[in-house]
Homo-oligomer: A and B are copies of this chain.
């Protein structure tokens, strides 16, 4: 079971979390719980680090920031004991959860579940594990996994313990066909395949961290997304993320995702010669800009090529500057761009066995007067880049088109 920051925002909510845990223990499960910091706490700690040093040593940043999860883990262990359940807290270095040395965004190297399993076996002791943190084995220093890393902690721990399920409790009651704030007719999905969830998370659905879904898929950990704000005695169902084979009926499209954090850059009349792609994308990669949706077509003049791609909106100005600096090497004549664009995507493993799924979307969007700036497709999703002003119209149009609206 994993509980995020809003679920443990104060002691009263932590006591409510204890009741959710109790229900599972009474159902006969051995339970490990991963907790985040109280909501707002991590931001406060990060702000202090910024105040203390302009350029902060990520090893010290990790020491400060990881304290938030430490506090919550101790408090939840206390609340569980108060409810009569044997429980103890575990910090990353105690489990241990060993990580790489990329402090601030470390990757989990290994989770040793031995001691926790022993606590299950000998005392039926609930293990309360501080999320988001581990220890770098060689140096013995605390390392954090980066924002949202508690989801990843939970899935990695579930895999290490051979858990039947990893339940992610959050402030929504599951994964929806699209964002219900945009489309009131959005439906909660009972089941989603790992591959679909991975695309949804990558494409803007913020329910789970991409890395946690990757890990769940890799280790085949059935992961259940559900609400921590339900009555612990009578919780509503959530969404199970599972193997494709465990889902009986596959709709063609399972969900519509969208991401506003995109910007489009078009390079006109680039010399069509070997090495030009490297000249463009090499400097951007060196500057850690994540390029997406690359499209190349022959220019109007028939002798050169136009290249369009997207970058994260926060890297837009920086990317343009980098390209200007490399104008000579690239051999381009003009840079065009747009920051007010949105990427709308339809995802579904059912696309594999159906032709023409995307082309129906192109027609439906054209009928609504929505201009498509770029298209990319893969085996189980397609994405269109459109003007941000049309976001809601486009999402609703596709949501209806593929039969996702609530009855």
Which residues of A line the B interface, CB within 8 A? Answer: 11-12, 14-15, 45, 48-49, 51-57, 59-64, 66-68, 70-71, 73-79, 81-82, 88-89, 91, 93-94, 140-142
Q: B78 to A56, Cβ gap below 8 A?
A: yes
Instruction: Name the one of B59, B60, B89 contacting A63, with C-beta atoms under 8 angstroms.
Output: B89
Q: Which of B64, B78, B142 contacts A53 (CB 8 A)?
A: B78
**Identity of the chain B residue whose Cβ is nearest the Cβ of A56 in the assembled complex:** B78
CA distance A59 to B77 in the complex (A): 10
Which residues of chain B are within 8 angstroms of A48 by Cβ–Cβ distance?
11, 71, 75
Q: Is the CB of A14 within 8 A of B52?
A: yes
A135 to B: closest C-beta gap in Å: 10
Which DSSP category, helix, strand, loop or mixed, fits chain A's interface? helix
Given A57-B81, A81-B57, A94-B140, does the pair A63, B52 have CB atoms closer than 8 Å? no
Chain B residues near A78: list those with CB within 8 A.
49, 52-53, 56-57, 60-61, 64
Q: Are A63 and B74 in contact (CB under 8 A)?
A: yes
Q: Is the CB of B74 within 8 A of A61?
A: yes
Top 4 nearest A-B pairs (CB, nearest first) are A63-B74, A64-B74, A53-B82, A52-B78
Known pairs A52-B11, A67-B70; A77 contacts B93 (CB<8 A): no
Give the CA-CA distance A51 to B79 in the complex, in Å.
9
Q: How far is the CA of A49 from the CA of B11 in the complex (A)?
A: 9
A76–chain B nearest beta-carbon distance, Å:
8
Beyond A63-B91, A70-B70, 14 additional contacts (C-beta under 8 Å) are A14-B52, A49-B74, A52-B76, A53-B79, A53-B81, A56-B81, A57-B78, A60-B74, A63-B77, A64-B70, A64-B75, A67-B74, A93-B93, A94-B140
A15 contacts across to B, CB distance below 8 A: 52
| Least Cβ–Cβ distance between A387 and chain B, in angstroms | 43
CA–CA, A141 to B93, complex, Å?
A: 10
Measured between beta carbons, the chain B residues less than 8 angstroms from A55 are 82
A88 near B75 (CB under 8 angstroms)?
Answer: no
Q: How far is the CA of A63 from the CA of B89 in the complex (A)?
A: 8
Q: Given B12, B57, B79, B88, which contacts A77 in the complex, CB threshold below 8 Å? A: B57
* Chain B contacts for A66, CB-based, 8 A: 70
**In the complex, are the beta carbons of A60 and B82 less than 8 A apart?**
no
Question: B45, A60: Cβ atoms under 8 Å?
Answer: no
The CA of A54 and the CA of B78, in the complex, are separated in Å by: 9
A79 and B45 CA atoms in complex are apart in Å by 14
Q: Please measure, in the bound complex, the distance between the C-alpha atom of A76 and the C-alpha atom of B11, giving whole angstroms.
A: 29
27 contacts between A and B (CB under 8 A): A11-B48, A11-B52, A48-B71, A49-B74, A52-B75, A52-B76, A52-B82, A54-B82, A55-B82, A56-B78, A56-B81, A57-B77, A57-B81, A60-B75, A60-B88, A60-B89, A61-B78, A63-B89, A63-B91, A64-B74, A64-B75, A66-B70, A67-B67, A67-B68, A67-B70, A67-B71, A67-B74
Q: Kindly list chain B residues whose C-beta atoms are within 8 Å of the C-beta of A73.
A: 63
A57 contact set on B, CB distance < 8 A: 77-78, 81
Given contacts A51-B11, A78-B49, contact A64 B60 (CB under 8 A): no
Once bound together, how far apart are the Cα atoms of A94 and B94, in whole Å? Answer: 12
Contacts of A68 in B (CB 8 A): 67
